[in-house]
Structure 1
Amino acid sequence: MDVDLVVPGLYCLRPEFGQAYLWLDGRSATLVDTGIVGSGPAITALLTELDADLDRIVITHGHQDHAGSAAELRAATGAPVLAHAGDAAAIRGERPMPPPVLLDWERPLFDSIASNVPPNPPCPVDQEIAEGDVLDFGGGARVLSIPGHTDGSVAIHLPRSEVLFAGDTIANVDELMLGVFNVDRAKAIESFRRLAELGTEIACFGHGDPLIGDAGAKLRAAAAKITG
């Protein structure tokens, strides 16, 4: 697993597929997403290398490349898993994730990825989070409900450091763009535009490199180009 230092205290983790992020407050670590199943040992090894204790696992949504290793990391570290109620049942294994409504150009890409990403093992969700919740890391991390990619997608915004974890609502693959494979494209566009209005210097995505420096202006420019 490749690990990139975004800024001091923030790491981008690149498992076999997708991305996760590790935020450090001293020795207290928060993991935002977990990578696909099997990513756990590399993440626990990184925690050991950094001499950090994992205090929480925040899942931005229930897809395999974001929640796949939640169960193994929870078992290995004892860290609670936090997710929105809209996706919590799927993360627990009580029902499947609703399928996306694919655009024609997305279908071959989806088929090629879906056949190669293993399903999530069921994982308890210890805390269901919702719009307006403030989590105890990064000086107060605000939860924003941003449906569209999935019903239970969330973003995490750290106002003090102006850092945004956008999940898959926004991607930075070749260019800033609306994330693909959405259950409701109109809602996803609305959520993108909402995130673009935040005070953001650093934006972190599930796919593509983080934006470092004046991220909000770049997100607003990209949002202005999106059509329904």
Structure 2
Amino acid sequence: MDFIEITPRLYMLRFSIGQAYLWRDAGAAGDDELTLVDAGWADAADEIEAAIRGAGMRPENIRRIVLTHGHGDHVGAAGELAGRFGAEVMAHRLDAPVVRGEVPVPEPVLLDWEVPLYERAHTAVPHPPATRVDRELEDGDELGFGDGARVVHTPGHTDGSVAIHLPHHGVLFTGDTVASVGEVQLGVFHVDRERARTSMRELASLAPGVVCFGHGEPLTVDAAAVLRAAADRDTP
């Protein structure tokens, strides 16, 4: 796992498949408050803890873990980290039953070229244990970090997929609705590709300055224009 600073408040935790993000809010007397957006792989808790400590922060200050959706490479270590450090786990109401293990992960509707990719990814990523969800999210909910972070419901990848928008900082976490693999484009493995396209266009309308994807390198230069062009290009 790689731990990469994107901005002085924003860090990426990169795994062999996918990534998670850490946001830091300055606290009193240097006691920073930390938020994880997604939680990597199921066996990654020790690595995540070590990386945070190695960057001079305290994982005990992880206050919340916001899951963009219920897939294994995003739920991952959420339960173990929450248990260690008392963090609140958040997921959209429609994906919360998947995260808790009450219903199976919904099968995507795959394009022909996605089939071998999905088979490889499905085999490689460890299946996460059932994970508690302390707060079920809805569109527009404020999350208590990042000077006003808000939920943007982005159905299509899964029914309960969400993006997280920090308008004060111009930062957008897209989950897997959008990817940056080779170029910025609609992500893969959607349960409803047309709804995912609609969600991608909504995210582009937010005109963010930094875009963080579930897969692929973050956008930090001309992010709004690149995301808008990708959404326009993918419109049927």
Q: TM-score range by the shorter chain?
A: over 0.9
Structure 1 residue 2 and structure 2 residue 10: aligned? Answer: no
Aligned to 2:23: 23
Structure 1 residue 124 and structure 2 residue 129: aligned? Answer: no
Instruction: Map 1:16-95 to 2 at 5 A.
Output: 16-26=16-26, 27-49=32-54, 50-52=56-58, 53-95=61-103
Aligned to 1:176: 184
Q: Which residue type is aligned with residue 57 of structure 2?
A: D
* In structure 1, distance between residues paired with 2:50 and 2:101: 27
Q: How high is the TM-score relative to the length of structure 2?
A: 0.94
Partner secondary structure for residue 188 of structure 1: helix
Structure 1 gap segments, 5+ residues each? none
Instruction: Map 1:107-146 to 2 at 5 A.
Output: 107-146=115-154
* In structure 2, distance between residues paired with 1:72 and 1:16: 20
Aligned length: 228
Structure 2 gap segments, 5+ residues each? 27-31
CA RMSD of aligned residues (A): 1.0
Q: Which residue type is aligned with residue 171 of structure 1?
A: A
Q: How high is the TM-score relative to the length of structure 1?
A: 0.97
Q: Percent identity?
A: 53
Partner secondary structure for residue 195 of structure 1: helix
Q: Which residue type is aligned with residue 42 of structure 1?
A: E
Q: For each residue in 1:38-65, what CA deviation from the matched residue of structure 2 results, as whole angstroms up to 9, or x when unmatched? A: 1111111233333331000000000000
Partner secondary structure for residue 86 of structure 1: coil
CA positional deviation for 1:119:
1.0
49-58 vs 130-139, greater mean Cα deviation: 49-58
Report if the CA contact (8 A) 1:25-1:138 is conserved.
yes
